Structure 1
Amino acid sequence: MQGTSGPTSATAYAAWLAQPGYLAAEVLLAVFAGVGYSLADDTISALGTSCHSPTATGCSSASVAMNLAFIGFGALQAIGAMPLLRDPARRARVVGWLWVVAGVSSVGVGLAPVDEHPTLHTLVALPVFVAQPLALLLHARWLTAGRLRLLGTVLGGLAVLGAVLFGARLGADAWSGAAERLAVWPAKLWLPLAAVALRGTGVVRDRQASAASR
């Protein structure tokens, strides 16, 4: 991250720190879906679909709230990557754009629920399972070191595995939800850690620049 300070950097920092809130929102909306919904077997997108009867399954009575979560946290994910896009290092910019693509994809998922726009939903959701695991892996390998790099590599590996398993289980009656969450959730755990690390790097650069100018 560039050694810049100010509202933009502070907003980006907060945007990534907030990402675990998505996990809380998803789990709470699944638990209180009001119908038969399984975190293991039903897809995340199903939480954004409306239920047409009290006995329906694999949908949610709070679909609007879930779609707003897709939009809100996706936008925050993209906003949090802005400092990386301004970084002079090409690798940082590549990672930043991958996070932006995945975040914008999440926004699209919320704007195009699968029960209303199935084809469009599929198209806009695809980058989440490609760009996001790749962003996590490259972020860890290229932009961090030590234990954080190891943790990010493990989380990235799990996300890639989840994406592959989800592709294989798509349409299956069992475990597709678990596979999808394995693909998506690691990034939400990684981003606040990455934000803290990048914030620290920016502070160090600011101090070095200040010392050099004296």
Structure 2
Amino acid sequence: MPTATTTRAARLGALAFIVRPAYIATEVITAAATTGGYSFVTDSVSKLGEVGFSDGYSSPHHEVMNGSFVGFGVLMAGGAWLSNKELGPWVTGLLVISGASSVATGLAPLDQDATLHAIAATPLFVAQPLALALLGPRLKHTQPRLAKALLATGVVTAGAAVGFILAPEGSASGALERLALWPVLFGLAGWAWGQRRAGVS
């Protein structure tokens, strides 16, 4: 039987996932200050975190974006760790890896070391879809609609991640990257909201 401490931890973990969609606001704020015609469709999220001036772009609020990668990565890893009983070991592990990847991405801006940045960011695009694909079946008896939604989100984000990697620069790579990332925010927030409404027992 869960103790008050474990229940409190799970509720905090759920709250961490619920607030994570606010990440999108940091992209919008940073992009609004960026000079050089930044596009959410053709330009990568990482360009918002570039420290210097490159390819005609300048991101004066790059520290907001890189801080967001770190902060929301911590929320993901911490939320998963606190919700490990509800998520199960595999989903927890994948989300902790995803959070750590986000943190590392924020600490390695694209224009400072492109190779290191790619190494830091890659696990996020692999681990998140896998986590959703594994979380969905865990809910098929208790929350069948959410289970299907999470599984579908995992498939869509995995496909978008592959598309982002293969898309030539200057195409719709920015839109594909966001399709690989943003739905995960809402999928996990939806799961967490259901956990809190159920009392996370």
TM-score under structure 2 normalisation? 0.88
Q: RMSD in angstroms over aligned alpha carbons?
A: 2.1
Structure whose CA Rg is larger = 1
Maintained 8 Å contact 1:84/1:93: no
Look up the SS of the partner of 2:53 in the other structure. coil
Look up the SS of the partner of 1:50 in the other structure. coil
CA distance in 1, matches of 2:120, 2:126: 11
Matches within 5 A, 1:4-153: 4-6=6-8, 8-52=9-53, 56-57=56-57, 59-85=58-84, 87=85, 92-144=88-140, 145-153=143-151
Structure 2 residue ranges without an equivalent (≥5): none
CA distance in 2, matches of 1:31, 1:52: 16
CA distance in 2, matches of 1:173, 1:13: 37
CA distance in 1, matches of 2:52, 2:112: 12
Maintained 8 Å contact 2:160/2:176: yes
Which of 160, 165, 168 is residue 166 of structure 2 equivalent to? 168
Q: CA deviation at 1:51?
A: 4.3
CA distance in 2, matches of 1:94, 1:180: 24
How high is the sequence identity, in percent, across the aligned residues?
Answer: 38
Q: CA deviation at 1:118?
A: 1.5
CA distance in 2, matches of 1:162, 1:146: 24
- CA, structure 1 residues 13+176, in 2 after alignment: closer, same or farther (shift >3 Å)? same
Q: Which moved more, 1:39-48 or 1:22-31?
A: 22-31
CA distance in 2, matches of 1:202, 1:123: 39
CA distance in 1, matches of 2:137, 2:59: 38
CA distance in 2, matches of 1:119, 1:51: 17
Q: Give the length in aligned residue pairs.
A: 196
CA distance in 1, matches of 2:29, 2:137: 33
Alignment match, 2:187: 190
Match for 2:76: what amino acid? Answer: Q
CA distance in 2, matches of 1:136, 1:60: 32
Q: Deviations over 1:64-86 (max 9, x none)?
A: 1100000000100111101343x
CA distance in 1, matches of 2:153, 2:91: 16
CA distance in 2, matches of 1:200, 1:101: 27
Alignment match, 1:208: none
Q: Deviations over 1:147-169 (max 9, x none)?
A: 11121122112101111101111
Q: Deviations over 1:94-136 (max 9, x none)?
A: 0011011001100000001011122111111110110011112
Segments ≥4 residues shifted beyond 4 Å = none
CA distance in 1, matches of 2:78, 2:174: 27
Q: Which moved more, 1:114-123 or 1:8-17?
A: 8-17
Look up the SS of the partner of 2:7 in the other structure. coil
